[in-house]
Amino acid sequence: MSTQLTGLWPNFPATKLSGGQSLPSRIYSPPSTICAAHPLPSSSSIQIVGGKALGWQTNGNSKPSTNLGRTEAENDWDDLETDLYHWTKTLRSIQWFPGHISKTEKELKEQLKLMDVVIEVRDARIPMSTGHPQMDAWLGNRKRILVLNREDMISTADRNAWANYYARQGVKVIFSNGQLGMGTMKLGRLAKELAGGVNMKRRAKGLLPRPVRAGVVGYPNVGKSSLINRLLKRRMCPAAPRPGVTRELKWVRFGKDLEMLDSPGIIPMRISDQSAAIKLAICDDIGERSYDAADVAAILVQMLSRLPTVGMTALHGRYKIEADGSCGRGFVQKLANHLFNGDTHHAAFRILSDFRKGKFGWIALERPPQ
């Protein structure tokens, strides 16, 4: 059953997100109906959401926003980010800060003082969300290489967009695939080149040359240890496809000229940007105990239904169910009834797992900020 809504909708001000992104201010049109099938408890349901009618539990259509000088695709990504912000407003906050991270953060700050170059690894699907907000302050003027790992999990268009963005920023970026080793040799050469002046200064002082010291840092489960193992061509660092496997700092040597420090994933004590937190959960870059899988899967469905490269056609083709992707919770419930005897947790895990395995195609969940 659906209920007609009437009344005024406010103009939401621009909202600042992590990584320097801003959500544009837009006039919101009210959705025509509220999805009332399979209602949720009041503590975790959203009765009204902003943005287009593709809300947490809404159906309907609204007029697209138009910004002069911007492409339709750019406006669509802005709209999606804005809607995602409002979808997450009344969900349980996603927070994850295991005890070992606090200790590691203190040790890492001390070790960074010894680094000639720092290699920051991010998830290529969500480069902004996997950038630590305090990393710039920790590194100061230290030389840095940015690695966007899992390049095999995004499209060529996504890769080119991020490559152009970081080129304009003057940031040295390498795209890699830690599982197959693509980009690792280039990374090793670049690290030696950037820190090449270290031994020149040592020789000028009458000191013997030493290996270049490179620290590998980043969020949990972005592929830091796998990258090092591929570079060394042997398993020197524990690695597994889940966050929190590496729990202590470890130095490893690559030949005679390069030493690398593998570090546990570091994440803010409190994640203030819940849009970023949702993306971390979707991409399995945060502990699964920190979030409700059904909530995250429902929002993923709504995001995928909005992306032209996926849309409802791909969702229907994958699960063979007729459902409106604008009602994420309803889609998860229908899938649960169809395949899992009503178990929404298993249905949610299937959707998340399918995305992580590329069953909907290789796509990024972020585009560069304008």
State how far Cα 136 lies from the chain centre.
18
Q: At what angle do helices 293-306 and 311-319 cross, to 10 degrees?
A: 130
Per-residue pLDDT band for 188 (boundaries 50, 70, 90) equals confident
Determine how many CB atoms are found less than 10 A away from the CB of residue 296. 26
Q: Is the pLDDT of residue 65 over 80?
A: no
Q: Is 207 exposed, middle or buried (0-12, 13-18, 19+ CB in 10 A)?
A: exposed
Which range of 66-70, 239-243, 259-263 scores highest in mean pLDDT? It is 259-263
Q: Is the pLDDT of residue 297 over 90?
A: yes
CA distance 256 to 14: 52
CA distance 98 to 244: 8
User: How high is the pLDDT of residue 12?
Assistant: 40
**Measured CA angle at 162 (ends 293, 168), to 5 deg:** 145
User: How high is the pLDDT of residue 100?
Assistant: 63
The domains found in the chain, sorted by start residue, are 78-94+271-357 (no CATH), 98-262 (3.40.50.300)
Amino acid 135 reads M
Q: Is the pLDDT of residue 7 over 70?
A: no
Arithmetic mean of pLDDT, 235-244: 44
Q: Could you write out the DSSP letters of every residue in 59-70?
A: E---PPP--TT-
**Of 231-235, 274-278, 299-303, 304-308, minimum mean pLDDT range:** 231-235
Pairing assessment for the beta strands 11-12 and 26-27 based on DSSP bridges: antiparallel
Q: Is the pLDDT of residue 349 over 70?
A: yes
- Do 101 and 266 touch, CB atoms closer than 8 A? yes
**Of 52-61, 216-225, 253-262, 336-345, minimum mean pLDDT range:** 52-61
Q: Is the pLDDT of residue 190 over 70?
A: yes
Q: Is the pLDDT of residue 23 over 70?
A: no
Q: Is the pLDDT of residue 9 over 90?
A: no
> Is the model's pTM score more than 0.85?
no
Arithmetic mean of pLDDT, 31-39: 37
Three-state SS for 86? Answer: helix
pLDDT, greater one: 178 or 201: 201
User: How high is the pLDDT of residue 147?
Assistant: 93
**Of 52-66, 170-184, 235-249, 252-266, minimum mean pLDDT range:** 52-66
